[in-house]
Structure 1
C-alpha cells in the first residue's frame, strides 16, 4: 500500500448523518490542505474514495464538483483522466491571524487535546512491532519534512509526518483524533510567520521522535513528542495572542 493510501485512511472516514455532501467536501478539502494529496497529485479513483467516505459515487462527484468550484482541483475525463490537485500550499504569514479570532477558544483547547493525543500515539507506535512498510513510511515522512525548503511545502510535510505516526498505531480513533488536531494546527501555523530557528528545532525533535519509535523506546517517544507539543503550543500562544 502506498504512503498516500495509508495517509488517506488516516484522514478520510465514513460520513455520518444527513450531511454526506458537506462531510465529503470538508474531509477532502482537509486532506488536500494537509498535503495528503499534494499539489499536482491525482486523487484516488472515485470508487475508492466513495468507499472510504461511505457515500455513493453520485454524492462523491457532487463533492468533487464543489472542490473544482473552489479551485482546489481540476478534472479531466476519458482515458488517462482524473482529478488533479491544484491547491498550492499556503505560505505561512501573520495576515491570517485575525480570521482565527472567532475560533480562538476552540483552538486553545486543540492545543490541550493535542498534548494528550499525539504523545499517546507515539507511545503506541513505539510499542508495536512495526512492519518493514511502516518503518519505511515513518522514515520517508521524516526525510520529506527535513528536506522541505519551501515554507508551504514544509508545513504540509510536517502534517504528513504526524499523520504517518498516527497511521502506524492502527487505531482508527487515534488516527481520527490526530487528523482533527492537525487540521486545526495547520490553520494556526499558517497564520504566523515562518521562523528558521523554530523549523530547525522542530526538525531536530522530529528526528528524535522517529529514532525513538523505530528503536521501540515508547517512553522516550512520548517524552519527546510532549516537548514538541509544548514548544509548538508556546509559540502559537505567543504569536497568535
Structure 2
C-alpha cells in the first residue's frame, strides 16, 4: 500500500493538463512522477485508463507520451496478466548528453524566460506591422520549409522560421537577440529526443502563429506563440 505522502504526490502530479500542449505536458507529468520517485524504479504506472482520466487526456495522447518515454529509456511495456507500463530500473541521467555537463535549473529557466519575452514580443510586433509582399513571402516560405522538413533537419528549419518572424519586425537588434536566445535553446533541445507527436503539434502551432501575423492580429499572434513555446518548455523541463 502506498504511503499518504506518495499518494498525495501522485494526486498533485497526475492532475489534469492544459489542452493546448496535452502531449508535451503529459510527458512532463509522467517524467516528474518518475524522477521524484512517486513511481519508483521497477514499479508500475497507474493503468492507462486511470492515467488518462486523471490527466484529462485521450488514451491516444497518453499512449504517444508513454511510447516517447519508452523510446527514451524511461519505461517499458509488459504484456500479460501482470503487465502494464513499468519504470526501468536504470534511468537515463537527466540533461546529460555525451561529453556535456548537466543543465542546472536556474540556467534552464533563464533561457526559457528570455525566449518567452523575445519570441512572444516578436510575434506581436510582426503582426502589428504593415508587412510588405516580401515579408509575407518570407514567412510563408519558411513555414512551408519547416512543415516539410525531415526529422534530421527539423531543428534548423524550425529555427529559421522563428528567426523569420523576428526579421519581419524590421528590428535588427531584436533579430540579433532572438538569434542568440535561439542558440541557447537549441543547445538545450539537442539534449532531448525529437518526438514526432511534438513535431506534428509544433507544425500546426507554427501555422496558427503565421496566420495570425499575416492577418494583422497581434493579440492572437502573441497568444499562439506563448502556447507554442510553453509546449517546448514543458519537454525541456521534463527531460532536463
Q: TM > 0.5 between the two? A: yes
Secondary structure of the residue that 2:209 maps to in structure 1?
helix
1:68: which partner in 2? none
CA distance in 2, matches of 1:95, 1:104: 13
TM superposition shift of 1:191:
1.2
1:39-188 correspondence to structure 2 within 5 Å: 96=97, 99-101=100-102, 105-149=106-150, 151-188=151-188
Aligned residue runs from structure 1 range 18-57, under 5 A: none
2:238 matches 1:238: yes
Change (3 A) 1:108 1:138: same
TM-aligned CA deviation for residue 154 of structure 1: 0.7
Displacement after TM superposition at 1:104 (Å): 5.4
Unmatched tracts of structure 2, length 5 or more: 1-94
CA distance in 1, matches of 2:98, 2:164: 28
Q: Which runs of 5+ in 1 are unaligned?
A: 1-93
Contact map agreement 1:97 1:191 (CA 8 A) in 2: no
Q: Are the counterparts in 2 of residues 107 and 184 from structure 1 also a CA contact under 8 Å?
A: no
The alpha carbon displacement at 1:95 in A equals 6.4
- Deviations along 1:77-133, one digit per CA (max 9) or x if unpaired, are xxxxxxxxxxxxxxxxx8627725266533320101111110110000000011111
| Equivalent pair of 2:212/2:221 in contact (CA under 8 Å) | yes
Preserved contact between residue 95 and residue 191 of structure 1 (Cα < 8 Å): yes
Contact 1:97 1:188 in 2 (8 A): no
Structure showing greater radius of gyration is 2
Q: Distance in 2 between matches of 1:126 and 1:208?
A: 12
Q: Following the alignment from structure 1 to structure 2, what is the Cα–Cα distance between the partners of residues 106 and 95?
A: 14
User: Aligned Cα RMSD in Å?
Assistant: 1.7
**Residue of structure 2 equivalent to 1:218:** 218
Counterpart CA distance in 1 for 2:118 and 2:155 is 20
Equivalent-residue separation in structure 1 for 2:224 and 2:135 (angstroms): 20
CA distance in structure 2 between the partners assigned to 1:220 and 1:102 by the alignment: 33
Distance 2:99 2:130 in 1: 45
